[in-house]
Structure 1
Amino acid sequence: MGSTQERLTAWLTLEAVPGIGPVTATRLLAAVSDSGSGAPSAIDTLFLWDDSKLHEIGLSWAQIQALRHPEVGVVQALEWAERPDNRLICRDSPEYPPLLREIPAAPLLLYCRGDLDALSAVQLAMVGSRHPSYAGRDNATRLSRALAERGLAITSGLALGIDGICHQQALAAGGITLAVLGSGLDSVYPRRHQGLADQIVASGGLIVSELAPNKGPLAEHFPRRNRIISGLSLGTLVVEAAEQSGSLITARYALEQGREVFAVPGAPQNGQALGCNRLIQQGAKLVMEPDDVLVELNWAQIRAVSGAEVDEMAAITGTNSALPYADLLDNVGYETTSVDTVAERAELPVEVVLGRLVELELAGAVIAVAGGYVRTRRANHV
């Protein structure tokens, strides 16, 4: 075996030992490093030590036997890594992302598919609800697209809802996006995002997991996945999240890792936004526009609005000034607003309101959704 394959074999074998996870492995390797044995690296030293010394640093006799006799999964992982587009990176590899290596319990191995250069890109994590409101979808669309256009790689979890929107908009902007899975790369979850995963790889992005390729999704995988999403990134932007949301786990990891935390505010009446509002109360950076993120990160790219965007905004302003029933529009929110609520606010009969809302919808100022209407961003004329 070549040296690279030998190193991968060592890391795979260590990870396969029962009871050995990233935290325990880090402790063992630190104990080996502190020994001053002069071996090339801690992982090499670990396998050179005799059984009694391994037992002294905390390995059970059963674990030592497992270390001496690699399981069949080690060979399978090595074979997987030899296939086109697949790469397996161990924690002491020069290709391992430095930011991720800094976090507590950094993964021992990363299974990757796609362009490894994406790992070295400056990344922003964007996460949120699997069942976003119209406002959540709109915020995810405009922010992820704009930030990708300015050169940030967008990292998320390939989940339904906000995650998927952020990946898709980064791709639409011609940017780079990375998806960190809560399953193995050969068992993409959710299945309906298999096509999106393939598109990410084909477009110069990367899909990543610390799990063996054939591992299916389990509930305990996703909190572990979240620490990688935040660990790869300079900061985490929570677009929309309820108070009991997995996205808040990602935000907590970001805080623990010393990274920036951003959140998009929402109306108090929107239960899907309560988690974001709470994060802002606790000190997260409030984000309304892309520059709120870029300035906080000291992003060196052009921060001014491009000429094309200025023209677009001017066109939108011109369009809004001619909108029909602008006074009625003021009673439609960016969250779902029922027809009865609009009628009550406008002090008009429901049948009159319905007719005018139809005209506003034709003008692109509102969108009909389940439960009522929402105002579009292009209708922000006041």
Structure 2
Amino acid sequence: MLDTKLADTPLRSAMGLMMLDAIKGVGRVAVHKALNTFETFGELITADDEAIKACFNTKQRDAIRDEKIVDAAYKHAFKETSRAAQIGAYIVSLYDADYPERLKALEEPPFLLYTSGDLSLLDNAVAFVGTREPTQFGEKVAWGMASAFAEDGWCVVSGLARGVDALCHRATLEVGGTTCAVLPSGLDVYTSGAAMDLARRICENGGLIVSELGFGQEANKGSYIDRDRLITGLSLATVFIQGETHSGSMHSVRYATAQGKPVFVPNIPEKFLSEDINHTARDLSRMTIGQIASRFEWTGSVMEAVQRDPNRLAADAIMNRDDYPRVFEEIRALLPQRQMRQQQAFDIAATF
């Protein structure tokens, strides 16, 4: 007989979605069909042949009707919720009220978010991306720009990697701001002790850690790229600090473009153009989005955004500290019917 707790589990809840995700072979398309057809897990696994055929192929149906497989899926979901409670995290379903609204606009928003912290901090979020090996100029700009945004009340979103990411997180903490780290791994998996310590500091200071991967899952090449779409997806705008032309950070620029969100870069003084790594930011501020798309041979959905306005500049250069009020106002205008507290321009520290 079907366990009552299992039978009553809503498919759209975090528990229900974790169970579906744990059943091998059941992909995103099948999950969507099931969610639009059944309310609970009990309805799904006791459905008649005609109802279930509309959602799943033969192998998927066999898996869903296999008691051992379903039991293992239930145990997996229970283990995840227990782990969340153990480390002070929680798991949010795409259909929960506190799921970040901006992520719903992605082509394939994560069904589940694993998080530690207050998701409402993301209401005023701006992404910061860049190289793991910044120059002295890049370090100064990353620190200064993240500090300026944080002091104006923005939540600084980055990826907790060494280099620009870590600098932006730390700069935000130093000025008493809020920051969000988006991980390419499970919330309990870190690339180094330094990353773990920084994540702990972020949480202890009222910040936020987010991942779409379950506990214990290691990062891989694909998850780093997927993480970039979440960093830009959670944010109103993206600031590209410094990076090589074919760096991973350019994935963030591509995602921000596809999502129809503005990209900002620091102005690069002539004396720093001797550093090749600064040419990317300079090019983004001087080339059209059509030219950038051609250079990187972008394809797919991003081209829809490019074709809507191919002649606009790929990024907007923030010229100096006096330019911040303009930038803040432009990003603030993207907020849905909500005003942020505006600080005086003289409170903003110089960045370069």
TM-score by length of 2: 0.77
Contact 2:81 2:90 in 1 (8 A): no
> 1:101, 1:298 → 2: CA distance?
20
In the alignment, structure 1 residue 276 sits paired with structure 2 residue 307? no
In the alignment, structure 1 residue 63 sits paired with structure 2 residue 46? no
Shift of 1:160: 0.5
Contact 2:20 2:31 in 1 (8 A): no
> With CA pairs under 8 Å and 6+ residues apart, which has the higher RCO, 1 or 2?
2
Match of 1:346 in 2: none
In the alignment, structure 1 residue 241 sits paired with structure 2 residue 243? yes
> 1:247, 1:212 → 2: CA distance?
24
For 2:328, the aligned partner's letter is L
In the alignment, structure 1 residue 16 sits paired with structure 2 residue 22? yes
> For 1:261-290, what per-residue CA distance to the aligned partner results, in whole angstroms no more than 9, with x for missing partners?
112243443221232223221321112343
Shift of 1:20: 4.6
Q: Higher mean Cα deviation, 165-174 or 257-266?
A: 257-266
Distance of aligned partners of 1:49 and 1:241 in 2 relative to their CA distance in 1, 3 Å threshold: farther
Q: Higher mean Cα deviation, 65-74 or 251-260?
A: 65-74
> 1:263, 1:47 → 2: CA distance?
52
> For 1:228-272, what per-residue CA distance to the aligned partner results, in whole angstroms no more than 9, with x for missing partners?
111100011101111011111011111111222112243443221
> 1:251, 1:172 → 2: CA distance?
27
> For 1:314-338, what per-residue CA distance to the aligned partner results, in whole angstroms no more than 9, with x for missing partners?
xxxxxxxxxxxxxxxxxxxxxxxxx
Match of 2:303 in 1: none
Match of 1:286 in 2: 317
Shift of 1:64: 2.9
Gaps of 5+ in 1: 314-375, 378-382
Gaps of 5+ in 2: 289-312, 334-339
> For 1:181-230, what per-residue CA distance to the aligned partner results, in whole angstroms no more than 9, with x for missing partners?
01111112244211000000101111111111101121111001111111
> 2:45, 2:233 → 1: CA distance?
29
Shift of 1:136: 0.8
> 1:202, 1:15 → 2: CA distance?
31
Q: Higher mean Cα deviation, 108-117 or 227-236?
A: 108-117
Equivalent positions of 1:211-250 (< 5 A) are 211-250=213-252
Q: CA RMSD in A?
A: 2.8
Match of 1:318 in 2: none
In the alignment, structure 1 residue 133 sits paired with structure 2 residue 135? yes
3-state secondary structure, aligned to 1:82: helix
TM-score by length of 1: 0.71
Distance of aligned partners of 1:4 and 1:161 in 2 relative to their CA distance in 1, 3 Å threshold: farther
Distance of aligned partners of 1:32 and 1:10 in 2 relative to their CA distance in 1, 3 Å threshold: closer
3-state secondary structure, aligned to 2:221: coil
Q: How many residues get paired?
A: 302
> 2:143, 2:219 → 1: CA distance?
27
3-state secondary structure, aligned to 2:190: coil
Distance of aligned partners of 1:66 and 1:180 in 2 relative to their CA distance in 1, 3 Å threshold: farther
Which of these two proteins has the greater Rg computed from alpha carbons? 1
Equivalent positions of 1:70-89 (< 5 A) are 70-71=72-73, 72-83=75-86, 85-89=88-92
3-state secondary structure, aligned to 1:18: coil
In the alignment, structure 1 residue 187 sits paired with structure 2 residue 227? no
Distance of aligned partners of 1:46 and 1:135 in 2 relative to their CA distance in 1, 3 Å threshold: farther
Q: Higher mean Cα deviation, 83-92 or 290-299?
A: 290-299
> 1:231, 1:148 → 2: CA distance?
19
Distance of aligned partners of 1:264 and 1:5 in 2 relative to their CA distance in 1, 3 Å threshold: same
> 1:189, 1:277 → 2: CA distance?
31
Contact 1:114 1:206 in 2 (8 A): yes
For 2:54, the aligned partner's letter is E
> For 1:11-65, what per-residue CA distance to the aligned partner results, in whole angstroms no more than 9, with x for missing partners?
10222233455xx24x7526863xxx6x659x897667545433334x3333234
Match of 2:299 in 1: none
3-state secondary structure, aligned to 1:221: helix
In the alignment, structure 1 residue 304 sits paired with structure 2 residue 307? no
> For 1:124-176, what per-residue CA distance to the aligned partner results, in whole angstroms no more than 9, with x for missing partners?
00010000011111111111001101000000000000000100011111111
